[in-house]
Each structure stands twice: as C-alpha cells, then as structure tokens.
Structure 1
C-alpha cells in the first residue's frame, strides 16, 4: 500500500469513526442528527431514489421479454356455438358445436434477432444500474447540500440575533449619552436606523433558514433536529488530474453512456436480422364435437358427431421485398449508434468539466476560509479598538456601527465559505464515483443491490410469476410540522473562528 493509499484509508477511517460516533451519541443528544443519519434516511425513503429503483426493476424485465421470442410458444382456444337460425335448405346443419384446438410453435432460426435483442437488453440493464448509482450520488449530494444549508443558516440566524442584541445595547447606550448631552440626536438616529436594518436582516436570515429546513424535509423525509458538525470527507484527491483520472474510470454516467453504446451496436444486428429467413417448427391439433346436433339428412342413418385433427410441419419465412423498410431500419440503427457514441463523448466531457469545476470550487473556498478567518480576527480587533477610541472621543458612533457591520459580514462570509467548501468537496467525490452508499459506509440495514432483482427475473419462464401489488416505499411528509426559524442553544456547528 502506497503512502497515498494509507492516507486515504486513514481519512476514510476518520470519516466512518466520526459518523459512527455521531450515531452512538444519538440517544444521548436529544435526537441529535448526524450527516450519516440524514444520508441513511434519504437512502431508505427518498422518493426519487426509491422510484429509480422501481424503474430499474422494470428495465430488468426487458431481458426475459426478449428471451421469450426465442422460446416455444404454446396456445389453445375453445369455442361453443348455438345455431339459432338454420337455413331451410341445410338439411344436415348442426344445431350446436364445441371446438377446441392448440398449437405449439418452436422458433428454430430467427436470423440473430433474439440473440442481439437480448444482448441489447442486457447492456441496457447494466446502463440502468449505472444510472441508479448516479441517482444515488445525486441524491446524496443534494442531502449534503441541504444538511449544510441548515447548519449555515442556523449560524447566520444566531449571528444576526447576536448583532441585533448588540445594536439594541448600543442604541440604549447612545440614548443615555444623548440624554446627558454627550451625543447628538444624529447619533441616536444612526443607531436606530442600523438596528432597524439589522432586524430586517434577521427576518431574512430566518426566512432562509425555514426554506433550508423545508428543503431538508423534502429530501430526507424528516425535520432536521440538532444537526451535528459534519466529519472530514475521506479520499479527497490531491490534484484535479487525480480526480479526473478516478472519475473517468468510475463515474456512473460514463459507465451508463458506454453501455448505451454497446446496446446500440447490438440493435444494428437486430435490425439486420429482419432481412434473414425465419424458420419455425409448428405442431397443431384440434377437436370438434357437434353435441348430437348433426344429422345425415337420411332417416335412420347416423353420422359421426366428433372429429379431431393434428398436423406438424416447418414454416420458413423469407422476406423478399418490403419497399426499403428493412434497409431503413438498419440505417436508423446505425445512426442511433453514432448518436450514442457522440453522447458518450458529451458525457465524458461533462464529467471532466464537472470534476475540475468542483475541485476548483473546493480549493477556492478553502482559500476563502483561510482569508476570511484572518478578516474575522482583524475585524474583531478593529471593533474593539474603535469602541475604545470612541470612549476617548476620537471615533464616532457611526464608526462603531460600521465596524460592527463589517465584523458581522465577515462572520457570515466565513460560515458560507465553510458550507460551500464542504459541498464542493463532496461534489468532487460524487464526480469521481465515490459518493455512493457503498463508499460512505451507511448503516441501518443491507444496501440495495439491483443485481439481486435482475438475477431473480432474467431466467423466469412462468407466465404467472407476478410480484406483489405495488406499495408506497418512501414516507410522505404530511405529518412533519412546518419548519420554523428557531435555533438551538449553544455555539453553531459552523462557528466562525
């Protein structure tokens, strides 16, 4: 194992340990929620994800459907007829009849149609499984974003609450000094105006927090309660080139596009098979009973009331001329294959751009965090100095108000950068194909494996092997109370330091 692998394994261990620790503390922290817990709930209950799984199960059925065209086909029919009006000149017409028959058709040669159709269906099953992985990573990315949005907005609300409290204290102090003639009415008006603006900013921050919580509920299915600080993400790449290398080999969108190319090539073979002869063996039989209603028309002479027949043979169908339809179908399949190849290149380009962009955003926000932390410390010292200078008359009340606003702004920028950095880093993992349940070590039950259903149905021959009636899997959110703007006591999970 290389030093890089060891470091990645250590980071992954720290990630899982942090998530597990959050899960162990869950009963002790008044329903505190960890990022792992939120991801696990979305994995089980998000309707987009559960719906995608159902769609993939439907996709699995294309394989046995295509296989069935190469298997024997057995059919029977039966009919009973009563002749209500018998023509006058029909002396021996039966009054009633019972007819039954059956036919067995065995395809012997289909020109490769079945083989190529089954291959295409299998490739599309693999493409669908890759699409399911992509959906899973997309949902997880959205959950991480929603989780961090709630934490960020809670921190911003707390910062604005603190700012409002400070400005109220400033206004009271300014009013007291105005009463004794130490300050002017202008100073009081400036303090009042700044407090009013701060209260408006607080209302905006509270509205944003409510929206973020509602977004979390939509994705996870439950309200966010006491969200804990997220753990460090594992296996982050050292360079953008490293990230792209992993993404090109593991991104599910690329895998899906590649399988679609393979399926489109098999479709060409299916189209070409329409020009080949088709050979089938046929065995048929029938039984007819006139139920005693058939007579010979000669008194005293009876006739046979029952007849039966059987036949066996080989049927050969050779298409000769169809007005160019079959060639058009081949050319159409070839063009669609060309389209699938170009779509693969488009997907590959998109993944490369997405990976590089997410990596750049992550690195940029890491630098923003470092710079903003310095700005927070500098503005804290600046505010303290301005207050001290105001006490000796060298600074105005407006100077204090401006210093307090700058301090608040940098704190808000810091928690926003922390949120953006974490989400961008997770987006890097998602682009690399490393942000799925199997990579994050989710607990709470067995992971969904689409291969299980495919193996179950791919060889099914029984025509009555239905699944149980469809049932809702994801929980609805009707009973979840509407989100509010209340924030927990104590320091925020994203604390500006």
Structure 2
C-alpha cells in the first residue's frame, strides 16, 4: 500500500515538475525591444538637451570672437553743461554754455598682432571639442538605456523562474503532507518543505521588488513605462581582436577627439596672449551735430583719428596671462595623455568582460544541459520508487538555479557587448542606424559663425531655429 502510494505521488509530482519546466512565458507581439529603448532615450533625454544648448553657447563664442575683428558703430546722444568763470584784465567772465550732441562713432581694429584672429580660431577649436563631448554624452545616454532594458529583461525572467519555483515547492509541500498523512514521512519532512516554500516566496518577493526598481530606472532612462520586453537582443558587430578594438577607439572615441581639439584651442590661446604683449592700432571716427541751448547756433562736427598703443607696464598682468595660458595648455596636453590611456584600458577591460561573459554563458548552458539530464533521470527513477519526492525536487531546484545562472550570463554578455561598443566610441545613434532625427551640430553653427547683425535675415532665421528648439 505504501509503495503504491509513493509511486502515485512520485508520478504526479514528476508530471507537475515537467509541465512547469517546459512552460514558456507568453510575450505580446508588440513587445518593446532594445532599439525602442535607445530611440526613446535619444528623443527624451534632458542630458542631451542640456549639452546641445552648451554646444550652441560655444558656437556663439565664435561669433563673439569674430566681432572683435569688425567695426564697432555706436549712436550717441549727449547733453553737457559747462561751468567756466575767468578773470581777464580785471574783467570777470562767467561762461556756462549748455550743449546737445548727437552723432555716430566708429571704432575699427587695424592691427593687434593677430591676437583677435587667434581668439576666433581658439573658439572654433572649442566648438569642435564640445561637439565630441556631446557625442560622449550621447553614448552615456544610449548605454544607460541598454542597461535599463537588460535589467528589466533580467528581472522579468527572474520573476518567472521564481514563480515556477514557488509553484513547484507548493506541489512538494502538498505531496509531503499526503505522505505524512499515510505515515511515510515525519513531521520534520513537512516542516522542511514548509521552510523551503517560505524561502521561495521570500525570493519571489525580492525578485518582484527588483523588477519594480528596474522598471523605475527604465522610465528615467527611456522616458516611458516599459512594455513586455521582446527578449535578448542580437549582438552588435564586434571587433575580432583586442588590438583591433583599441585601434578603432584611438581613431573614433569622442573623448580622445575632444581632448585633441582642446589642446589645439589652448595652443591658440597661448598665441593670443603673446600677441597681446605687442602693439595695437585702431581707427576712430566720429560725426555728429552740436547745438547750443543758449542760442540757435549749431555746428557739424567730425573727427578721424588713428591710435597706436603699446603697453609698457600693466602691473605684471599681461605676463601672468601668458603664463596662465601656457599652464592651461600643458594641463590639456597631460589630460590628453591620460584620456588616451584610460580609453585603451577601458577597451581592454570591456573586451575581457565580453570574452568572460561569453565563456560564462557557454558554461551555464552546459550546466543547464547537465542539470536537465540529471533531473530527467531522477524523475524516471522516482516513478520506479527508487527515488523520493524530495530527490526529484532537489534536482528540479538545481535545474532552476542553472537556468537562472544562464539568464544572468546571457544578459551579461549582451551588456558587455554594448559596453565594448561604447568603449570604442561607436555607440551613437548615427552609427547604430537608429530611426531618429539625428541632431546636426553644424546647422546652428553655420547660422552664427558669421556673427549676423540683430536685424539681418540670418538673425531672423536664428530666431525661428530657437523657437523650433522650444527656446524663448
């Protein structure tokens, strides 16, 4: 009687376990995929908007620097009251005329040793550096979206595995209780099953909490709530060797290119400060009308002057500015070396992580295969009465743990692949071919690089661009 009961319970439990292990979580056809996550992040990132605005500010610095090479024209209105009292040959004269002046003045730089030109070129290099910094921010935004998507995917699959585990341990508890009722096991066996079920429920609660956390991060990174994920993404095209990856990074990484342009900008800044030690020549012109309030007299007034200026002593300020510019240039050169070394190390680390994750996935897959074979064998032995119910569920638990490890390894491999792309400087919307409107940094620059006047057509075009960008 007891043998028959044991056989029935073992067969029922084996059937329940088999169904649970082969069940697949259904996913809707409209599930979110990794590309959707990156598109959402690119279109809604406040960090990208912030750095695009900083780039436009750098564009305006070029226009400001260019304006130093152009004439400055001012319209002036001036009212003066003179007080003049004199005594000549015993005669006291009190002359206090009131005058009104209106006119136009012009100032034009003729020569400054190319200091203003160097300033303009330095501003242009800063623009190029800022563009590359914007690309690096774009990489950070897209990588965060990748991490958010994969974390949601991992959390969902973990919850599914934990739910299966709770169901199976519930079946185990019921089977153990039935066996206890017929006197085959002791109260200790029942308590052990209850303990394992309670632990499984606690693990499921933790997994659901992790899923909620991952979904909150997804909303922050992507800009909307995630739907059901579409599964593991396909791997991007990766370099065949570490050397190839390092060489690609040296040519393409925006952090390296940004640092290179910054070095050039500060080289030009040094040249600008040195040129400022030399002489400058400036043309001044004034034309206007002077009227006396005391009578109806007026005069047309015009003046043209050429001013040569050479600083002799300025309290050491000019020499200090040159030395400061040189120190900043030297710091930028050292920074470039550090960035290059950090990028090389980052590529090597990312490549090693990907190789490690690939090997780990291979091992985890083999572990799942072996655990599946072991579970199938123990289940068969249980139907013959050679194994207990607890033996079957221990094997089932090993199989679930192996599958959980495999899911984690597969997620880690996908993440490390995109981290390797970012380490090479290739994780950008344009290189990935994302279906987004790629931000063109040259559009705004081309409108402002010639420093258009406020009333010009080009300035009105700028106003329309700013309105399109939702700026006042």
Tell me, yes or no, if structure 1 residue 163 matches structure 2 residue 162.
no
- Of 137, 153, 157, which residue of structure 2 is paired with 1:151? 153
Q: 1:324 maps to which residue?
A: 316
What is the Cα deviation at residue 235 of structure 1?
2.6
- Mapping for residues 195-206 of structure 1, pairs under 5 Å: 195-206=197-208
Q: Quick check: 1:59–1:128 contact (8 Å CA) kept in 2?
A: yes
Tell me, yes or no, if structure 1 residue 360 matches structure 2 residue 352.
yes
Q: Which moved more, 1:387-396 or 1:345-354?
A: 387-396
Question: Secondary structure of 2:286's partner?
Answer: strand
- Of 161, 170, 177, which residue of structure 1 is paired with 2:179? 177
Q: Quick check: 2:236–2:417 contact (8 Å CA) kept in 1?
A: no
Closer/same/farther in 2, CA of residues 230 and 399 from structure 1, 3 Å limit: closer
Q: Quick check: 2:375–2:399 contact (8 Å CA) kept in 1?
A: yes
Q: 1:100 maps to which residue?
A: 102
What is the Cα deviation at residue 401 of structure 1?
4.6
Tell me, yes or no, if structure 1 residue 48 matches structure 2 residue 50.
no
Gap runs ≥5 in structure 2: 1-26, 86-91
- 2:100 and 2:315 map into 1 onto residues whose CA distance is 43
Closer/same/farther in 2, CA of residues 249 and 194 from structure 1, 3 Å limit: same
- 1:392 and 1:235 map into 2 onto residues whose CA distance is 51
Gap runs ≥5 in structure 1: 1-27, 295-302, 475-497
What is the Cα deviation at residue 331 of structure 1?
1.7
Q: 1:448 maps to which residue?
A: 439
Q: 1:76 maps to which residue?
A: 75
Q: 2:418 maps to which residue?
A: 426
Structure 1, residues 56-112: CA drift from partner, whole Å, max 9, x if none? Answer: 1111111111111111001122145799x999x987645x65332321001001122
Q: 1:340 maps to which residue?
A: 332
Structure 1, residues 32-68: CA drift from partner, whole Å, max 9, x if none? Answer: 2222222122211111112211111111111111111
Question: Secondary structure of 1:104's partner?
Answer: strand
- Mapping for residues 277-356 of structure 1, pairs under 5 Å: 277-291=279-293, 294=294, 303-356=295-348
Q: Which moved more, 1:236-245 or 1:72-81?
A: 72-81
- 2:395 and 2:62 map into 1 onto residues whose CA distance is 69
What is the Cα deviation at residue 168 of structure 1?
0.6
Q: 1:3 maps to which residue?
A: none
TM-score (norm 2): 0.85
- 1:379 and 1:45 map into 2 onto residues whose CA distance is 44
What is the Cα deviation at residue 402 of structure 1?
3.7
Q: Over the residues paired in the alignment, what is the CA RMSD in angstroms?
A: 2.6
Q: 1:131 maps to which residue?
A: 133
Tell me, yes or no, if structure 1 residue 249 matches structure 2 residue 245.
no
Question: Secondary structure of 1:232's partner?
Answer: coil
TM-score (norm 1): 0.81
Q: 1:272 maps to which residue?
A: 274
- 1:456 and 1:472 map into 2 onto residues whose CA distance is 14
Question: Secondary structure of 2:430's partner?
Answer: helix
Q: 1:142 maps to which residue?
A: 144
What is the Cα deviation at residue 30 of structure 1?
5.8
Q: 2:21 maps to which residue?
A: none
Q: Which moved more, 1:304-313 or 1:144-153?
A: 304-313
- 1:472 and 1:154 map into 2 onto residues whose CA distance is 40
Q: Quick check: 1:50–1:473 contact (8 Å CA) kept in 2?
A: no
Q: 1:262 maps to which residue?
A: 264
What is the Cα deviation at residue 325 of structure 1?
2.2
Q: 1:193 maps to which residue?
A: 195
Q: Quick check: 1:187–1:398 contact (8 Å CA) kept in 2?
A: no
What is the Cα deviation at residue 202 of structure 1?
0.5
Q: 1:67 maps to which residue?
A: 66
- Of 464, 467, 473, which residue of structure 1 is paired with 2:463? 467
Q: Quick check: 1:194–1:401 contact (8 Å CA) kept in 2?
A: no
What is the Cα deviation at residue 400 of structure 1?
4.3
What is the Cα deviation at residue 305 of structure 1?
3.0
Question: Secondary structure of 1:408's partner?
Answer: helix
Q: 1:37 maps to which residue?
A: 36
- 1:242 and 1:385 map into 2 onto residues whose CA distance is 47
